[in-house]
Amino acid sequence: MSTTGPTGEQIPGHDIGFGIDIGGSGIKGAPVNLATGQFLAKRLRLPTPANSTPDAVGAVLAQIVAHFDLPAEAGIGVTFPGVVRHDVIGSSANMDKAWVGTDMAAVVRKHTGHTAHVVNDADAAGYAEGRYGAARGKPGVVMVLTLGTGIGSAIINDGVLVPNTELGHLILAGERQSAEVRASSAAKDREGLDYAQWAQRLQTYLEFVEFLFSPDLFVLGGGISRDYQQFLQLLDTRAPIVPADLRNKAGIIGAAALAAK
């Protein structure tokens, strides 16, 4: 299989992947050029069903796959907002609880006919930033943090993903709530914090994470990373801090790349 890229070049089949990123409000997918990390077609986004059971979500996955007319033999990468162990869902904070204990690869195969590699959404985004984005070519330990409704985390060590870190659930000394309740971008909006106030909370969290893992680089993602000029200069860690490059494309790209490994 080969296809034509956005600039008219022929892309061989082994450089083509397909990723789907599942979120609490939307499910989006696109074919990906695995050599460059670029989309090969405009992504399709459909709303996540209000009753987000495995069968309801599986039906949406089927619509997305059918839209792109994938070859029958094509494998796909799929993200899930929760812990994923060997394609089995271990937690489901923002989706139906019926997902817990479910083999998601089996759900994908049932509804789409395709084999699938399932990965945590923050892990997929982090891997994409390490391979194609802000951390590309960076040696050592890279910590990718996605700041949104919660705080997602991914650790990449010399290009190798360490999965399911879930560092947004850390509880800092003197606090009763998890870090993501205090320092996510949703917390900033919910409590009406300005960037300086929010950056103080994020600073405390970053200092603790740095103490635990001594990363060589922090990459901050999530929608708020678009506004990095408002807060990045307010943060001070030993490791450099940079904004994510791929933003809301990262989950799709990382899922496709990990499925092709």
Separation CA 138–CA 185 (nearest Å): 26
Q: What is the reported pTM? A: 0.90
**Count of helix runs (H) and strand runs (E) in the chain:** 7, 14
Same domain, residue pair 143 and 183: yes
Separation CA 77–CA 252 (nearest Å): 8
Q: Is residue 29 included in any domain, yes or no?
A: yes
| Maximum C-alpha span of the chain | 57
DSSP string for residues in 179-207? HHHHHSHHHHHHHT--HHHHHHHHHHHHH
Give per-residue pLDDT as tens, 34-67. 999 999 999 999 999 999 999 999 999 999 999 9
Report the amino acid identity of residue 141: V
Give per-residue pLDDT as tens, 233-253. 999 999 999 999 998 899 999
The answer to whether the CB of 198 falls within 8 A of the CB of 223 is: no
Using a 10 angstrom Cβ sphere, with 0-12 exposed, 13-18 middle and 19 or more buried, the burial of residue 49 is middle
pLDDT at residue 3 in the model = 57
* pLDDT over 90 at 13, yes or no: no
Give per-residue pLDDT as tens, 81-109. 999 999 999 999 889 999 999 999 999 99
Q: Which domain holds residue 16?
A: 2-124+250-259
Mean pLDDT lowest among 13-17, 110-114, 213-217: 13-17
Average pLDDT over residues 146-170: 94
Same domain, residue pair 155 and 98: no
* CA-based nearest residue to 132, from 143, 124, 140: 124
Same domain, residue pair 234 and 255: no
pLDDT at residue 176 in the model = 87
Q: Is residue 27 included in any domain, yes or no?
A: yes
* pLDDT over 60 at 9, yes or no: no
